[in-house]
Amino acid sequence: MAVQDILNPYIRPIREGENTEKALQMMENLHCPFLPCIDEDGFYKGLLSENTLLDIFDENINLEQLPLQFSNTFVYDNQHWLETISYFNEQSNLVVVIDREGKYQGVITSQDVVKQIGQSYAFQEIGSILILAVNQWDYSLTEIARLVECNNAKILYLTTQTISNEPLRLYVLMKINQTDLTRIVATFERFEYEIVAKFHQEPIFADTDQERLGLLWKYLSF
């Protein structure tokens, strides 16, 4: 799904020729600390900050006289929405979308992206989470998938993240379509993978099962 398919329908741009009073009113109505600013021809110029407006005492000053932020931060309308995640930051929770000519098409917010992730098949399906730590040079998606699939399971979602204090190592986070990861964890441990964390439903035995299991272990110990 492309970015143009999930544009936010509520946040509209403000034009350079408009005044600060209108911009502040729009921000207040939208509960949004930034607004995209465009010129008269519809080309994206940057994000207008609420803090900038609050420092201006003249409510009738034109926006084209004010400094803008993130003028070079945008995505194209035909990019996949997952590519936008790295553009969000602590200051702004929205990303501007333009076409190849530079004309403004709309915005998407971090909430829009989270909604798309939540609606994806991987997160709708029942499963469990497993996190491994691997050396970057040892990381093999094919091998990891093979070890999961040899236990009659499938990887629904996988992502990697560098470890901040160990730059040559990765966290590998997986969602797997099984509620009990006991066998899968044992497989990874057998192949000397480091298990960082697992979030799953471990099997619960009835009292009779526990008793039988205890008798079996006693028998095997002789």
Chain segment 56-78, per-residue pLDDT in tens: 766 667 777 788 999 999 999 99
Per-residue model confidence (pLDDT) at position 96: 95
**pLDDT tens for each residue of 89-115:** 766 789 999 999 999 999 999 889 888
117 φ, ψ to 5°?
Answer: -65, -45
Q: How confident is the model at residue 53 (pLDDT cuts 50, 70, 90)?
A: confident
Strand, coil or helix: 104: strand
92 & 22 share domain: yes
Range of the domain at 67: 3-117
pLDDT at 137 over 90: yes
Percent of the chain with pLDDT over 90: 53
11 & 47 share domain: yes
Number of folded domains that form the chain: 2
pLDDT at 172 over 90: yes
Strand, coil or helix: 119: helix
pLDDT at 146 over 80: yes
**Has this prediction a pTM greater than 0.75?**
no
Q: Give domain status of residue 215, yes or no.
A: no
Which is higher by pLDDT, 165 or 58?
A: 165
pLDDT at 130 over 90: yes
Per-residue model confidence (pLDDT) at position 122: 72
Are 170 and 161 within 8 A, CB to CB? yes
- The mean per-residue pLDDT over the stretch 41-61 comes to 84
64 & 99 share domain: yes
Q: Give domain status of residue 50, yes or no.
A: yes
Q: How confident is the model at residue 219 (pLDDT cuts 50, 70, 90)?
A: very low
54 & 17 share domain: yes
C-alpha separations of 82 from 2, 85, 87, 88, 96 in Å: 9, 6, 10, 11, 14
